[in-house]
Amino acid sequence: MRRPAATAALFAAALLVALGIVEGLLRVLPPRAGELRGLHEPRPDKPWLYGARPNAQARLAGALDVRYAINADGFRGPRVARPKPPGTFRIVVLGDSVAFGYGVAEPDAFPRVLERALAPRATRPIEVANLSVSGYNPYTEAALFADVGASYEPDLVLVQFCVNDLADPTLHFDASTLLGVGAIPDAAFPDPPARRAPPHAPSRLALACRRLRTCALLADALAAAMERRPGSGELAAALRSSDPASPTQLAWLRARYAEILAAAWPVPLVVAAFPYATELAPGAPARLQAQLVALGDDAGWTTVDLLPAFRRAAEAGGAPLFLDVWHPSRAGHRVAGEALAAQLSCRGLVPVPADGPDCGP
């Protein structure tokens, strides 16, 4: 009896040592290509539900071959000083995977393009702090800004809008974290009565698993094997259901952006309305953009419609402007960043002299 017990104890000890070695290696070795969800962690202690894991890194394999690095504050790109250096004009960007820069290097994402476009003619130093998180929608953007945004001392708050902001956020949240974020408030849903059944809140065991790289790796592999991605028909249906936006969706969007505006006051709020790929076709309707501009005019913030700039770039030819339905390519981010720089200066929202020829729609 003693010998089997001793053998079992020895085996258990050897297994723990082996798992410890594997855990240690996973913490020091570069992350496996494609583990983008490993960038995120649930935050049930925060109203913004989940965020990027500080100091996480990941690489998107394949043709794009993009590396992602999260700074110590939990955001992509270089950290910015807090408190803000005297004399600096700071723009805080809120958004989802579009502003985060899915599929492009961090210097090529539009927040950094915007910073570079403004800098040469600025009358004071300008910097852009990108607080975007993949999968976010206006609810989580507003919650994040109210919690941590003020500490960045913005002089202007720029919120990136994508048409999928008006969809049920459950899939976005779960797709980004891979572990369900648990109970989601009704306020996070553009149309609460139409929300899907809420997932079960993650157990303590599941949350503890995320803290161990070995356990998280196995859990992610299992979840990825079971994942069902939406087909092209589902994406097309989602676009049709949100363009134009319903009165319920517009009321929800107004309430969420009003929360950001109130938290930022007296700092101005600008909404950057990004188009989606099929809107670039000649003659394609642009009903949602008109709704967003009218909403901002009525509610007290500025809306910059980026569709005209994208259509001009598409007509001029060159590199594709989108990687998929929603995400701009490197060329698309350049169009967005430069158009935003022109519009912000033309509207007197940044300390950069307006340039007449670029001040059209």
Per residue in 295-309, pLDDT (tens digit) is: 999 999 999 999 999
Give the C-alpha distances (Å, rounded to integers) separating 53 from 56, 133, 137, 263: 6, 10, 18, 24
Identity of the highest mean pLDDT range in 15-29, 53-67, 82-96: 82-96
> Comparing C-alpha atoms, which of 137, 125, 131, 126 is closest to residue 109?
131
pLDDT value for 10: 72
Both tokens assigned to 194: 């139409």
Q: Residues 6 or more apart from 36 whose CB is under 8 A from it?
A: 58, 60, 68, 134
57: Cβ contacts below 8 Å, ≥ 6 apart:
30, 31, 39, 67, 68, 69, 70
Residue type, 2: R
Give the C-alpha separation, 350 to 138, whole Å: 24
Return the pLDDT at 284.
84
Separation CA 190–CA 258 (nearest Å): 14
Q: At what angle do helices 247-264 and 138-148 cross, to 10 degrees?
A: 10
Closest of 104, 354, 141, 125 to residue 252, by C-alpha: 141
**pLDDT of res. 34:** 46
Orientation of helix 330-346 relative to helix 110-118, angle to 10°? 40
| CB-side neighbour CA atoms (13 Å) of 3 | 0
Query: Is the pLDDT confidence value at 204 over 80?
Result: no
Cis ω on the peptide bond leading into residue 361 (within 30° of 0)?
no
Q: Could you give phi then psi for residue 49, rounded to 5 degrees?
A: 70, -45
Asked if the model's pLDDT at residue 228 lies above 60, the reply is no
Q: pLDDT at residue 267 above 80?
A: yes
- What is the CA 336 to chain-centroid distance, rounded? 16
DSSP state of 158: E
Helix or strand or coil: residue 302? strand
Residue 357 burial (C-beta neighbours within 10 Å; 0-12, 13-18, 19+): exposed
Overall residue count recorded for the chain in this entry: 361
Pairing of strands 50-52, 57-60: unpaired
Q: Which residues of 216-249 are buried (b: 16+ CB within 10 A; e: fewer)?
A: bbebbeeeeeeeeeeeeeebeebbebbbbbeeeb
Binning pLDDT at 50, 70 and 90, where does residue 279 land? very high
pLDDT greater at residue 88 or residue 216: 88
Of the listed ranges 35-39, 40-44, 182-186, the least confidently predicted one is: 35-39
3-state secondary structure of 182: coil
Share of the chain above pLDDT 90, in %: 57
Quick one: pLDDT band at residue 33, thresholds 50, 70, 90? very low
- Write down the pLDDT at residue 19: 61
Over 60: is that where the pLDDT of 231 sits?
A: no
